[in-house]
Amino acid sequence: MHDSTRPHDLLWGMTPAQLPADAPDWAHGVLIAGQPVVVRRAMVASGQLAVGLRGSSRDQRYASVMPACAVLRKVRPEQLVERLPVSDLPALLALKQLKPNMDALGLCWGVTGSVGFQLATGLPTAHADSDLDLLLRTPLALSRPRARELQRLLDEAPCRVDMQLETPAGAIALREWAGHSPRVLVKCATGARLVRDPWAPEELAA
């Protein structure tokens, strides 16, 4: 298990007192209820973590920071797919259907987004029309033909599935890497940029 905190990790321990004065009331309510925050990609001061809060509706999203020393518990996306609940939600049915093939890749993978939040908290954040958001850790290059095979597998699921590949440069969308554009958008802590090969050292240094 990687020791450092990474994007999409869920963290417990942030308190309302750590929110800025202009934070919305619903954000205070989320922390009072003991809900986790999600790590996001951003540059912050040493000893701080960039996090996001989610409320009960899609428009309730708030970016903030929390002290690293305040973290009481951490759950990674890959921990959320170890045991799956019985459910008739299309996104959870898709997750159960895809799990054997994902496990067979031999790479760390997990679930994020509303489905991941529901699995971590038990709160009904996913619904019948929810997409399934997956993360695949790819420290070594994933060929574009293999990416296309994986995308075809995801497209057979009973709901829309979006996967992010976590590369050394940052995150790229599998759907983009499986396409034919010579460059893809990589998201990193300093922002987003177009690269040809997110596994190439010269791309990281650019």
Q: Which residue has the tokens 């308190």?
A: 15
Q: Is 41 helix (H, G, I), strand (E, B) or coil?
A: coil
Active site residue 129: no
- List 88, 133, 155, 162, catalytic entry: 133
| CA-to-CA separations, 8 to 14, 110, 120, 167, in angstroms, rounded | 16, 10, 12, 14
Q: Which residue has the tokens 């954040």?
A: 125
Q: Which residue has the tokens 């045991």?
A: 83
- List 9, 59, 88, 131, catalytic entry: 131
For residues 49-82, one letter each, b for 16 or more C-beta atoms within 10 angstroms of the residue's C-beta and e for the rest, the string is bbbebbbeeeeeebebbbeeeebeebbbbbbbbe
How many CA atoms, within 13 angstroms, populate the side-chain half-sphere of residue 87? Answer: 20
Looking at the DSSP bridge assignments, the partners of residue 48 are 67
Task: Note whether 174 and 151 are within 8 A (CB).
Answer: yes
Active site residue 22: no
CB neighbours of 87 closer than 8 A, spacing ≥ 6? 93
Q: Active-site residue numbers? A: 131, 133
